[in-house]
Amino acid sequence: MFKPSWALLLSAVPTAVSATDAVEHISVYANRIPVATSEVLASVSVLDRADIEARQASDLPALLAQLPGITISRDGGRGQNSGLYLRGGNNGHTLVLIDGVRSGSATLGYKTLSMLPLALIERIEVIRGPRAAWYGADALAGVIAITTRQASGVELTADVGSYGQAGASINASQQQGDLTLSATAGYSRADGFNVRNDLDNDRDGYQQRFAKLVAAYQTGLGLWRGQVDVNSGFYQFDTAWGSEDQAETLNRSYLLGWEHQQGSWQHQAQFSRTLDDDTTYGPVSQSPYVTERDEFNYQAATALTDSLSGLAGVNWYQESVARSGVAYVKDNRLNRAAFAGLQFAAQGLRLDGAVRRDLTDQYGGNTTWQLAAGVDLSDAMQLRLSRGSAFKTPTFNDLYYPGSANPDLQPEKTLSNEIALSYQLAAATLQLAWFKQDVDNLIQFDFATYTPQNIERAKISGVELSVDLRWDSVEQTISYSWLDTENTLTGQRLARRPEHNVNWRLTQQWQQLSGFVTADYQSDTYQGEYASSPYLGGFTVFGVGGSFALSPALSLSAKVDNLFDKHYQTSSGYETAGVNFGLSLQYKLP
């Protein structure tokens, strides 16, 4: 899917509101077309650039951990590997889109987020619940859609922090008639800390460089856009498996997109090529893993009547293992798909439906669908119900990695239900959702046979509550998630899914000065039968921060994370950061 024009998106999303006004965000990806989040029949969270900057998160996993339904398991600090569990799904059950493009390693089966810099991100949309009827494989638990930077004017940012953290970035754009050029570049690094006290007694840090160039040209035949992204660097880690303890990374993407409004029809098309390169190495060996993906999307949307609209399109992608340290029995696969959906809205009733047919050269055809209904109980309250299916094909590592593969694996399949109630006023917003997901053929690694196996079924259910209160210059947000998971084969909880999660944030604005306080709680987690510590205890971590506008163009921000130096782990054996600070300076010219 190609994102809508920035003129449309920026005109639709307010960038600054008073604390007493409710912010109406726009969802771009939930239905593949721009829709106000209050009209989307799914649980959606949207963070724009102002939100990202205000939260002052150390990296993308830390930012996502503040949102409802998301749990992050970290193998160390900034730059090290982290796992994302959305609504109890596996790490690979959340599809990550970057500028509308499917991203991630074909060997791992998911996108690693720890080396995706926040300085490169303009907007994040998290859709909780299956979206395979629109996007195909991997969207079992939901979708995280990231839009990269395309700032107006010139923006310079520099930051420093604990553990040798330092970074700088620049964003610039220029318009000449119908041509708009924009560029982003940056650098970041940290010495880090020792993430495994029982292994190498050294610091585990990272370095990173990134750049992006975009050209957009408006013609009578539509808006054409070309884009190149490069993100490279290295990170250090500790492992008990072999001597390799560093990795070089390279992510590169090329995009060519087109969109055109013709009468009531909106056409979008995009071709992309992406490369994901992660090479681990040590004193005596190295293991490269390079995967590539070519993808084409086309969709057309139109209003069929005053109350009924439709969208249909096609999707094609081919992914391959371009280079690896081991020989895979099969190193490429092809997926072709067609999808269509209808949206109806009239007199306080909304109905959504979508269906998609995927055809892979490994497993044949797979049909997914979703249905949703929403009823306005009053001007401020809405009740919605949804049901949908999804699937995920086994990864190249699952099927073909020498010595630990299982070529007999079947695709994971899910059926999900959700019932939600939302209440929105100018000074208060409340969302309460119950969800249930049955996962058939869930793939779990079996340490007894040292191969991945399909278990008969996993059951996942939970409740999410989010509250946003605004009064004068004070805003308070609270989210609570309760999760119940079960591996029906063993009767045990699924690993690394805490039963309870609470995120609290209080912000206040005093003219040019703003400040915030945060508290994040996570209950104990089951780490797995073969983990060094099968259970990890719960914890609460506090943070404070603020920003001061030195001038209309210059601002200074500071924050302290883990204020009381809490010692805790989210992945068995791996340390997390102690008390740490960050300081950043930002200069903007229109």
CATH of the domain at 377: 2.40.170.20
Enter the tokens of residue 406.
Answer: 């299982």
Domain-embedded: residue 1:
no
Closest of 92, 5, 121 to residue 390, by C-alpha: 92
Domain-embedded: residue 17:
yes
Residue with tokens 């839009």: 147
Closest of 194, 189, 213 to residue 204, by C-alpha: 194
Q: What is the mean pLDDT of the chain?
A: 92
Residues 156-178: what's their mean pLDDT? 96
**Between residues 515 and 150, which one has the greater pLDDT?**
515
Contacts of 261 (CB under 8 A, 6+ apart): 222, 267
- Number of structural domains (the chain) is 1
DSSP code of residue 120: G
Contacts of 327 (CB under 8 A, 6+ apart): 402
Mean pLDDT lowest for which of 232-246, 424-438, 517-531, 542-556? 232-246
Closest of 384, 333, 419 to residue 137, by C-alpha: 333
Distance CA 440, CA 420 (A): 24
Amino acid at 299: Q
pLDDT of residue 201 exceeding 90, the answer is no
The beta-strand segments (E) located in 28-75 are: 35-36, 43-47, 70-74
| Residue 23 pLDDT | 56
Domain-embedded: residue 199:
yes
Residue with tokens 């000074």: 427
With 0-12 / 13-18 / 19 or more C-beta atoms within 10 angstroms meaning exposed / middle / buried, residue 346 is: exposed
pLDDT tens by residue, 291-342: 999 999 999 999 999 999 999 999 999 999 999 988 899 999 999 999 999 9
Distance CA 166, CA 364 (A): 49
- The share of the chain scoring above pLDDT 90, in percent, equals 83
Residue 266 domain boundaries:
6-589
Residues 47-65: what's their mean pLDDT? 96
Contacts of 460 (CB under 8 A, 6+ apart): 87, 88, 89, 436, 437, 438, 439, 483, 484, 485, 486, 494
| Residue 456 pLDDT | 79
Asked if residues 512 and 548 have their Cβ atoms less than 8 Å apart, the reply is yes
Residues 173-182: what's their mean pLDDT? 94
Contacts of 391 (CB under 8 A, 6+ apart): 132, 137, 140, 358, 366, 368, 411, 412, 413, 414
Domain-embedded: residue 540:
yes
Residues 227-255: what's their mean pLDDT? 92
- The share of the chain scoring above pLDDT 70, in percent, equals 96
Rounded to two decimals, the pTM is 0.94
Residues 66-74: what's their mean pLDDT? 95
pLDDT of residue 504 exceeding 50, the answer is yes
List residues bridging with 169 in a β-sheet. Answer: 157, 186
Asked if residues 399 and 326 have their Cβ atoms less than 8 Å apart, the reply is no
- Indicate the pLDDT class of residue 501, thresholds 50, 70 and 90: very high
Domain-embedded: residue 187:
yes
| Residue 426 pLDDT | 86
Distance CA 143, CA 131 (A): 7
Distance CA 570, CA 369 (A): 35
Asked if residues 281 and 244 have their Cβ atoms less than 8 Å apart, the reply is yes
Residues 467-479: what's their mean pLDDT? 95
Enter the tokens of residue 427.
Answer: 């000074």
Domain-embedded: residue 195:
yes
Amino acid at 491: G
| Residue 3 pLDDT | 47
Distance CA 179, CA 40 (A): 33
Neighbour count for residue 160 (Cβ, 10 Å) = 14
pLDDT of residue 21 exceeding 70, the answer is no
Distance CA 369, CA 238 (A): 42
Using DSSP, state whether 142 is helix, strand or coil.
Answer: strand
pLDDT of residue 155 exceeding 70, the answer is yes
pLDDT tens by residue, 377-406: 999 999 999 999 999 999 999 999 998 999
| Residue 7 pLDDT | 36
Residues 366-380: what's their mean pLDDT? 96
Amino acid at 363: Y
